[in-house]
Chains A and B, each alone.
Chain A
Amino acid sequence: MTIRIGVVTFPGSLDDQDALRAVSYAGAQAISLWHKDTDLNKVDVVILPGGFSYGDYLRCGAIAKLAPVMTEIITKANQGLPVLGICNGFQVLCESGLLPGVLTRNKGLHFTCRDEKLEVVNNSTLWTKDFETNEKIVIPIKNGEGCYQADKKTLDQLVGNNQIVFKYLDNPNGSLLDIAGITNEKGNVVGLMPHPEHAIDELTGPTNHGLRLFTSVIKNLVGISK
């Protein structure tokens, strides 16, 4: 069985090609989806890539959530479709209501581009089964609006339900609770600011740690996950 993983391209997406390549590299069939698509072309998994959809106008991800393709993604995600949002994709997931909270301007106002040390907090999501809990990994970040904020009740829920997936070891942007990535309660939707698609091979990235998000979801779907 070949897993079909779709990567959505919005106007202003930048990392859709790297995400498609990471999907192929991990052993799945990479399918390009377009923001105007109303059908998901029978994909088993959806990735919302990084970039600056619609120029980040209004708020990051706020216009992308209204794209025709998102209607089907939101419906299917609520039914259990595995969805990964990377950077701008994470922002789109928060704006869409698939994940709680919001990403705002980095505390120091700087656009930050560096290799980031992370701790894997939750390895039970569809996207993190190939990691160990408390494992330290390195994946690059590159964003201007990566500061995770939510009200206290939401933060308490994230902690109580073990919905924090990745934490920064050296918080680069003021994110509350050092949050780098979270999941929904079901564990099928994950969003993170770091870019796993840029860390799939040591030849072109700082590590190959990012590849394991893609292999996790693939193994889970073919039924060989732990």
Chain B
Amino acid sequence: MGRVIVDVTLKSEILDPQGQAVLRALQSQGLKQVADVRQGKTFEITFEGAINKEVLDQVEALASEVLSNPVIENFVIRSYEKES
């Protein structure tokens, strides 16, 4: 079994009101030093069998076309083999 993780984060110039609300929640709980919070998403994609370059290339294409919107988001792909 192989797993690919796609982390999608908002570009720095994009307004993130959800992150701002979380920031205020953290500060209200005593975490006064917090300067900023940006909220993103993570996709954990599990494959049958090992991950080869072809799969990774497909994931990369779909991360840019489907999992993220390049107008507002960046993504990073991580992959690792998992004990089945």
Contacts and interface: CB of A to CB of B under 8 A. Distances in A.
Do A and B actually bind? yes
Interface of A: 58-59, 62, 66, 94-95, 100-102, 104-109, 147, 149-151, 174
A62 B69 contact: yes
A58 B18 CA distance: 15
Nearest to B18: A105
Given A62-B66, A107-B15, A101 B71 contact: yes
B77 interface: no
Interface in B1-37: 13-18, 21
Q: How large is the interface on B (under 10, 10 to 19, 20 to 34, 35 or more residues)?
A: 10 to 19
Contact of B71 (A107, A147, A151): A151
B72 interface: yes
Contacts of B18: 105, 109
A223 to B, nearest CB: 37
Given A58-B67, A62-B66, A149 B17 contact: no
Contacts of A105: 16-18
B21 A102 contact: no
A174 B66 contact: no
Nearest to A61: B69
Contacts of A107: 15, 17
Contact of A150 (B16, B17, B66, B71): B71
A109 B17 contact: yes
A102 B17 contact: no
A176 to B, nearest CB: 9
Given A105-B17, A105-B18, A106-B17, A149 B72 contact: yes
B69 A102 contact: yes
Given A109-B18, A109-B21, A147-B15, A104 B67 contact: no
Given A102-B69, A106-B17, 19 more contacts: A58-B66, A62-B66, A94-B71, A100-B71, A101-B71, A102-B71, A102-B72, A104-B14, A104-B15, A104-B72, A105-B16, A105-B18, A109-B18, A147-B15, A149-B15, A149-B71, A150-B71, A151-B13, A174-B17
